[in-house]
Amino acid sequence: MAEILVVDDDRGMREFLEIMLTQEGYGVRCASDGKKALEICRKHKFDLAITDLKMPKVDGIDFLKGVKELSPETMVILITAYASGGTAVTAMKEGAYDYIEKNFDIEDLKKIVRDALDKKGVKEDDAQFIKSIKDADRFGRLIGKSREMLNVYAIIKKVGETTVNVLILGESGTGKELVAHAVHENGPRKDKPFVVINCGGIPEHLLESELFGYMKGSFTGAVEDKPGLFEVAAGGTIFLDEIGELPTILQVKLLRAIQEKTFRRVGGPEDIKVDVRIIAATNQNLAQKVKDGSFREDLFYRLNVVAIEMPPLRKRKEDIPVLTEYFARKYSSAFGKEIKKVSSYSLELLLKYRFPGNVRELENIIEKSVALGTSNIVLPENLESAKDQTVMNGSLDVDFPEDGIKLNEEMEKIERDLIKKALSESQGSKSKAAKILHVSLDSLRYRIEKLGI
């Protein structure tokens, strides 16, 4: 039974929450202010704390900080009548699970409590798993050791042990199919088929027969019976890539196949039973497609039993060096070359680039650089797309950190990049570089000395 601590200086709210949570089957204790609550927490650990924000002596934020010091695994939900964006941000920074106003819907609060407790259980298991692999730079076919990727690995391991349907979200090129493989390979169906179909890459009139098969004579060209991919994947996993592109009529048939575990071939007279795990992926906002009516809500919830969100490469830049080294080795072997290292300036360029095409784009850049390079080092002159875009707009296209940026330092970086590019274009000739940059030779020399180029 989960233990919950309720902290509120409003007696009526305390009693209401105590009754409601007790009826839900939780063990509940109460405190009238943050100071008393922390004293209780020093003697007893709770799975979840629900606290008011505005309280005498020790307010909700200070209680949150205190309880996280005493018991980092305790989940905390803040409730307040004085909602503000700034306070919400502060609460989340300090580790709050959620933040809601006092005019909350009871069912919404119950769901938030359930989700928080579920998350706590997952977090405890995940923490042990992450600790065990923190020094590794890959998981299955996935590469990266950033915190974002370690969290993805933990979720994959957790859902891999089950047979629930999984929805993988993320921009193009982030590695959603690799995640699908990892889920399958870490699960009870790993020795069974893994079948892939791109829902956006097959014409609508052919997609149904690809998924469910067809009977001889059901349409022109159907000269024999053919099983569909659902039959091919029986006992295993079917990966539906670009699920957001699935036509509405097929959404109905897919929903039936998931719910009833049966389907019919095109032109077939009888139902066929099949047991497959569904993993779907999309780079679209399916929740929005549900709202605008282009994707069925019931199908969305059938697919979205567990969601795994792949971070874009710009959000896990610490993985760029290890990915770059991996791709350099891969294509060095493929092209019969001996690439010994990636130059530091090449890595500097790649780390500044935002990679709209994500890991797939990084791989293409390194493949091209290895194919065209004449050195055993990956040099910046062969990183054309990253080099050009970084110099022209990468330094300006930034995600501002909370404490802002130092403008003078950023401008110096841009100036340094432009001068380095001009010198590269002019094969090191300062006079030619000065002409490219439309500055005098003396001015360029001064800038080069000042910037330490």
In a domain, 123, yes or no: no
Residue 439: domain span: 314-451
In a domain, 159, yes or no: yes
- Considering the domain architecture, whether residues 400 and 443 belong to the same structural domain is answered as yes
What is the Rg, in whole angstroms, of the alpha carbon atoms belonging to the chain? 28
In this structure, the chain runs to a length of 453
- Considering the domain architecture, whether residues 157 and 109 belong to the same structural domain is answered as no
The Cα angle at residue 161 between residues 160 and 164, in degrees rounded to 5:
70
Q: Say if residues 72 and 41 touch (Cβ distance below 8 Å).
A: no
pTM of the model: 0.60
- Considering the domain architecture, whether residues 306 and 318 belong to the same structural domain is answered as no
**Whose CA is closest to 138, among 161, 125, 156?**
156
pLDDT in tens, the chain (453 residues): 789 999 998 898 999 999 999 888 888 999 999 999 999 999 998 999 999 888 888 888 899 999 988 988 899 998 876 555 556 666 766 778 888 877 888 888 888 888 888 777 655 555 566 566 655 677 888 999 888 898 899 889 888 888 889 999 999 999 999 999 999 999 889 999 999 999 988 888 789 889 998 888 777 777 788 888 999 999 999 999 999 999 998 999 999 999 888 988 888 888 899 899 999 999 999 988 998 899 999 999 999 888 999 999 999 999 999 999 999 999 999 999 888 788 888 888 888 888 889 999 999 999 988 888 888 888 777 786 555 554 434 444 455 666 677 777 778 888 888 898 888 888 788 888 888 888 888 788 888 888 888
Alpha carbon separation from 56 to 12, 33, 100, 147, 190 (Å, rounded): 17, 7, 20, 37, 56
- Considering the domain architecture, whether residues 150 and 295 belong to the same structural domain is answered as yes
- Considering the domain architecture, whether residues 303 and 330 belong to the same structural domain is answered as no
In a domain, 132, yes or no: no
Q: Exposure string (b/e) for 308-343, b if CB count within 10 Å is 16 or more?
A: bebbbbbebeebbeebbbbbbeebbeeeeeebeebe
Q: Which residues contact 77 (CB under 8 A, 6 or more apart)?
A: 48, 49, 50, 51, 96, 97, 98, 99, 100, 112, 113, 116
> Alpha helix (H) ranges present in 354-425?
358-372, 384-389, 407-425
Cβ burial of 258 (10 Å; 0-12, 13-18, 19+) is middle
Q: Say if residues 247 and 296 touch (Cβ distance below 8 Å).
A: no
Q: How far apart are CA 337 and CA 371, in angstroms?
A: 9
Q: Say if residues 79 and 100 touch (Cβ distance below 8 Å).
A: yes
Tokens linked to 431 = 């006079």
Structural domain tally of the chain? 3
Q: Is 134 helix (H, G, I), strand (E, B) or coil?
A: coil
- Residue 46's CATH number: 3.40.50.2300
Task: Tell me what pLDDT residue 326 has.
Answer: 92
